[in-house]
Structure 1
Amino acid sequence: MRRNRAETDASQTKLSRRAALLGGVQLLFMGGLAARMNYLQVDQADQYLLLAEENRINIRLIPPTRGEIFDRNGVQLAQNIPSYRIVMVREEAGDVEEVMHRLSKVIDLDPEARDRAIAEVKAAERFLPVTVADNVTWDELSRVSVNAPALPGVSPEVGLTRVYPRGSDFAHIVGRVGRVSKTDIDAQEIPDAVLRIPRFQIGRINVEAREEGLLRGVAGTKQVEVNATGRVMRELSRREGQSGADLQLTIDSKLQNYVQARLGTESAAVVIIDCENGDLIANASSPSYDPNLFIGGISSADYDPMLESKHRPLVNKTVQGTYPPGSTYKMVVAMAALEEGIIGPDDTVYCPGHVEVGGRKFHCWKRAGHGWMDLEDSLKQSCDVYYYDLALKVGIEKISAMAKRFGLGIRHDLPLSSVASGLAPTKAWKRETRDAEWVIGDTVNASIGQGFTLSSPLQLAVMTARIATNRMVTPRLIKSIDGIEQPSGGGEPLGMNENNLRKIRKGMHVVVNDRRGTGYRSRIIAEEMRMAGKTGTSQVRSITTAERARGVSRNEDLPWERRDHALFVAFAPYDKPRYAVSVLVEHGGGGSTAAAPIARDVMLQALYSGEPPLDAYPTADRERIAEQQKQLRDVQPQATIKGKDQA
């Protein structure tokens, strides 16, 4: 059948539209394909050529910059300084041993260091840069660069090295860093990739270790182009990581230095705490050591003497060391009795020099006895028999509960290693740990801070601050993180009877300021700075009946290890407490002779924010103190404050 003209025209129109649509789609496809080919073949030609030539574009980790640590005034305690180093990438080096052999001819590498570097390169991931030489000189760096064609996979770098400009003053606070070990990696469920970089350093002890998460930061990455020999030609792209946080401690570095110098060669510890906010402004353990010795790996010649020393320089005695608190514990027993209403301040106990309990004699330190003693006199003269009597009336459970309210027998949360809990023993504790029942003699021993009772110098400082303020003062070591102030340790009210605490404080005042007080020779003369305190002496050996009969041996006649520990705690000023201090001198003998003079000196240094005037001391001491100040003045180091040197 013939179509009319109208039908033919309509059919041709439809075909033309379909052809146009199909042609448009084809043109669009071809245009897109051409654009993509242009992008790949022209715009990205260089990169894809390199990818085709044995994947010569590598991605490498950029170690983050470790956060720095400062004292409360901005003095640098842990900083990063530039250092030159030589690194090697195994996949680019090829024959690692041959390349290391060539490198040892370019720079000075002893055989032991070379063998260690070879082992580290072979053990590392094939794409990771491994440091094979640390702290090289500029001349050595230049020689490596010149000989780069003969050293495939080897390249010089500028990195950062951790240093501690205040040396031994802060070893027991800031701590130190060390290289990552396999144990460190295995200990983490999902290890940070940056830890796999050989010779990467992390915190080992104290603040460096406890605040590792804040200080380390986050690694970045970079994409580098290398040639056929493995030499880096250029950096293609970089994603910066995140630097670690800067920490500001509560410690005053100038006071810390003075305290360390004042302790000298003693095996001792000093803690000074701010009564208002709990800030630790000094936390010194003596003897100390230089943490910089550990950065690149310490030698046996340096390490063995520290390990073998009977004065234990590697131990932080302020928080790790626990000792019988001796007579400094008497305030705990007295407060427990006062709060229970068992005694009044005017009640007296007769001291004949000993008391017999359960068929055993417990002696007072004064063999002839003190006679009639009330609370104030018992603290002033440190009568033991008075506290034997109190303890038998109060009982060990209430004494231990009071000790914990004062901060003893509990672990304080500080970013320091191995912070000890001490011990405020109870009947249940002895039953569980010693499989034995508590006996009455245990209570008598505990009343004078002996027997099972143990405290650290930190805990004794906290106890003293709480007595001085009637608040739950909590020690604080981190003042701010990246400039953000951290919570105060001022604490809530303890809720103790203030009148009872005033009696305890008055007793501590006469200890130091009354002529018959055991701490009188270490008093402060300046009226506005008067100090209240308590001496303590803790035995480390048993005194036999035979020895008592012939006369107890003097400390100076005994070997050092068998002498008594000397302790002293104090707060000042008496009328408005600002600081509390605790001093422990291991095997120092008497607290009044060994510990109290140190406490008086460091307290004055804190109160005056520097060297105190001589008229703050008793007249008889001023000539000696003037000479002592002159000697200690000479050991003050230079301090770096945010890039500036300041004395």
Structure 2
Amino acid sequence: MRRTARDTEESARMIRRRAFLLGGAMSAFVAVLGARMRYLQVDQADEFRLLAEENRINIRLIPPARGLIQDRNGKLIAGNEQNYRVVITREDAGDVDLVMQRLAQIVPLSPEDIEKTLQEVERRSPFVPITVADRLSWEDFSKIALNAPSLPGVTPEVGLSRAYPLDSDFAHIVGYVGPVSEKDLEGLENPDPVLQIPKFQIGKIGVERWTEDKLRGKAGQKRIEVNSVGRVMRELERQEGVPGADLRLTIDADIQNFVQVRLGDESAAVVAMDVESGDILAIASAPSFDPNLFVRGISQADYSTLTENDHRPLANKCVQGAYPPGSTFKMVTALAALQAGVINSGTGVYCPGHYEMGGRRFHCWKRGGHGTVSLNSALAESCDVYFYDIAQRVGIDKIAEMGRHLGLGMRHDLPMSAITEGVMPDKAWKQQRYGQEWRIGDTINASIGQGYVLTSPLQLAVMTARLASGRAVVPRLLHMIDNEPLPLAEQPVLPVDPAYLEAARRGMFEVMNGQRGTAKSSRIADDSMLMAGKTGTAQVRNISAAERASGVVSNDQLPWERRDHALFVCFAPYDRPKVAVSVVVEHGGGGSTVAAPIARDVLLRCLTGGIPPLTAYPSAQRGRIETQFKEMKLRDTGVAAPAKSRA
């Protein structure tokens, strides 16, 4: 059928309409597409540029340089040494197992090393670099760098590691650092991001631990560009961190070394304090250990050697050890009785060799007794019965109060680990601790530093410094932070009559210089440095009535661990005190024969600034002393610290 002109025109109109609609739809689509493209390419350009950058740019933390630790004269005690290491980053490595296998063919890695690394990789975030090995040789370090194209995600780095040039001399003071553990992170609400870096080293014990916030510093960061296989192409930006603060201790490294060597093979502790400032000049615990072993990763054999040693080299006996002070406590009892007015310095007490109380006999160390003694002679000859008697008159509570005035029974705040409070018992303490009433026998035992009384060598040094100065001297170990001196703590006058303190000091002078003094053989012969001191012997075993009747077995006939502890405290010069010293020798026997000679040598070393002169010793002893000093292998501690160096 033939189409009319009208039909043809209608059809054309329809086609034009459809074309218009289709064209409009296409135009609208193009407009929307253009708008979307503009949105993505212009409006959202920064966001997508950032996403693209993050795919090829990594941000990594730069561990800060740890602060240096120096002695009071600037000699380096703890520093940083260059350390070649290799790290792996999971997100850049791809197949970590394959990369580790390749790496093991280049540098020596044991199966255990590889397994530990793989476990660490799984535990950490993909972008956190994991230390595979450190302390590499330059040769191994170079091999890794040359083979970098076949080791995606592996980066050789030059870092810093802690080093202790004076090793065992400062092990118990400074401590050591080690990798951050899960235990270290426990309880931290917002841990420093740098602590997340595997094998990042922080302080574990001693000054390293207790001043960690000062020594660590603040981490820096760097932006690096990597290619598609994770190889580092270039460093785009670096922002250095803030190095840790440098610390200067009050310790004199030369004196510390002298004391450590002087103690030799003894299981012992020595504390030397400046009487005026409270500065600790030396605080030595023997035997010691090399802290560098822990930084580098101590072997099981080395660790077992330390833990199985009956002389306990890992323990800091100066602040952790709690010992019965023995007769070194007698000045406390005497001052309490004088202050309470129950005796005066001339009060006499008869000593027949024992003291009867409540049907029980308490013995004096001198079996035949001392006869009638006053305070001066009782201290000089260390008569036990005198102190038994006056302790009953004054009572334990006033004795304990005097002990606390002198620094006993309290924790002294030093940046060291596990500082003991000791025990300065009174009636309330026993009731609270044991639920028992205080007994007369408890007071008698406490009066001569036995029974419940426990003190540390640090506390005994503080006690002696306070006796010598008449002020509440506060011990301190930190001298400067970044060359800024720290202020001295307040040192108020002791609430004790100065006349009573002088009476106690006079008795201590007679211990060293009197005809019947228990330590006269350890006196100083130089009149300008005369010393005052007090011996002490602390029993570690009970002596039965049968043994006492037949004769007490001497220490040299007993096994080492059953011998008495030897103690000694002293200060000098007597007329203008400068230095106080305490010595405890575990199972050393008698304080006068073992501890006193050590204390005299330490005092002289502090006062003279060098090896003690032979003229300071009684003439009959000079030959032996000269030989002793020649045999001492002292360290040359002339290790100067870099001037504010953090490298």
Q: TM-score, normalised by structure 1?
A: 0.91
Output the CA distance in 2 between the equivalents of 1:176 and 1:370.
Answer: 51
Identity, in percent, stands at 57
Q: CA deviation at 1:487?
A: 1.9
Corresponding position of 2:512? 512
Q: CA deviation at 1:159?
A: 0.1
CA deviations over 1:334-386 (Å, ceiling 9, x no partner): 00111111111111000000011111100000000000000000000000000
CA deviations over 1:278-332 (Å, ceiling 9, x no partner): 0000000000000000012211100012111111101000000000000000000
Q: How does 1:385-464 map to 2 (within 5 A)?
A: 385-464=385-464
2:620 counterpart of 1:584: no
- The DSSP-based 3-state class of the residue aligned with 1:552 is coil
Q: CA deviation at 1:615?
A: 0.5
Corresponding position of 1:294? 294
In structure 1, the gaps of 5 or more residues are 1-32
CA deviations over 1:575-612 (Å, ceiling 9, x no partner): 10000000000000000001000000011000001112
Output the CA distance in 1 between the equivalents of 2:236 and 2:513.
Answer: 74
Corresponding position of 1:641? 640
Corresponding position of 1:482? 482
CA 1:494–1:106 in structure 2 vs 1: closer, same or farther (change >3 Å)?
Answer: same
Output the CA distance in 1 between the equivalents of 2:300 and 2:154.
Answer: 31
- The DSSP-based 3-state class of the residue aligned with 1:330 is helix
Q: How does 1:598-613 map to 2 (within 5 A)?
A: 598-613=598-613
Q: How does 1:212-611 map to 2 (within 5 A)?
A: 212-489=212-489, 491-611=491-611
Q: Counterpart amino acid of 1:530?
A: L
CA deviations over 1:495-525 (Å, ceiling 9, x no partner): 3211111111111001001121001010001
CA 1:607–1:490 in structure 2 vs 1: closer, same or farther (change >3 Å)?
Answer: farther
Q: CA deviation at 1:237?
A: 1.6
Output the CA distance in 2 between the equivalents of 1:411 and 1:291.
Answer: 25
CA deviations over 1:247-303 (Å, ceiling 9, x no partner): 000000000000000000000000000001000000000000000000122111000
Output the CA distance in 2 between the equivalents of 1:366 and 1:631.
Answer: 36
Output the CA distance in 2 between the equivalents of 1:410 and 1:547.
Answer: 37
Q: Counterpart amino acid of 1:225?
A: E
Decide whether the 8 Å contact of 2:172 with 2:316 is kept in 1. yes
RMSD over equivalenced CA pairs, Å: 1.9
Corresponding position of 2:179? 179
CA deviations over 1:95-132 (Å, ceiling 9, x no partner): 11111110010111122222212222222111011110
- The DSSP-based 3-state class of the residue aligned with 2:204 is strand
Q: CA deviation at 1:643?
A: 3.8
CA deviations over 1:113-161 (Å, ceiling 9, x no partner): 2221222222211101111010111111111111111100001100000
Output the CA distance in 2 between the equivalents of 1:337 and 1:588.
Answer: 31
Output the CA distance in 2 between the equivalents of 1:113 and 1:322.
Answer: 42
Decide whether the 8 Å contact of 2:254 with 2:637 is kept in 1. no
Corresponding position of 1:140? 140
- The DSSP-based 3-state class of the residue aligned with 1:55 is helix
Corresponding position of 1:14? none
Output the CA distance in 2 between the equivalents of 1:99 and 1:326.
Answer: 65
Output the CA distance in 2 between the equivalents of 1:361 and 1:38.
Answer: 101
- The DSSP-based 3-state class of the residue aligned with 2:172 is coil
Corresponding position of 2:25? none
Greater CA drift, 480-489 or 203-212? 480-489
Decide whether the 8 Å contact of 1:70 with 1:77 is kept in 2. yes
Q: CA deviation at 1:38?
A: 10
Decide whether the 8 Å contact of 1:277 with 1:490 is kept in 2. no
Decide whether the 8 Å contact of 2:75 with 2:637 is kept in 1. no
Output the CA distance in 2 between the equivalents of 1:434 and 1:68.
Answer: 47
Corresponding position of 1:4? none
Q: Counterpart amino acid of 2:60?
A: R
Output the CA distance in 1 between the equivalents of 2:158 and 2:50.
Answer: 27
CA 1:202–1:154 in structure 2 vs 1: closer, same or farther (change >3 Å)?
Answer: same
Q: Counterpart amino acid of 1:83?
A: N
Output the CA distance in 2 between the equivalents of 1:291 and 1:172.
Answer: 9
Output the CA distance in 1 between the equivalents of 2:521 and 2:43.
Answer: 89
Q: CA deviation at 1:186?
A: 2.4
CA 1:490–1:381 in structure 2 vs 1: closer, same or farther (change >3 Å)?
Answer: farther
CA 1:265–1:489 in structure 2 vs 1: closer, same or farther (change >3 Å)?
Answer: farther
Q: Counterpart amino acid of 1:587?
A: H
Q: CA deviation at 1:37?
A: 8.5
Corresponding position of 1:19? none
Greater CA drift, 228-237 or 361-370? 228-237
Q: CA deviation at 1:635?
A: 2.8
Output the CA distance in 2 between the equivalents of 1:97 and 1:546.
Answer: 74
Output the CA distance in 1 between the equivalents of 2:107 and 2:223.
Answer: 28
Q: CA deviation at 1:221?
A: 1.4
Q: CA deviation at 1:39?
A: 13
In structure 2, the gaps of 5 or more residues are 1-36
CA deviations over 1:207-257 (Å, ceiling 9, x no partner): 000011111111111111111121111111222221111100000000000
Q: TM-score, normalised by structure 2?
A: 0.91
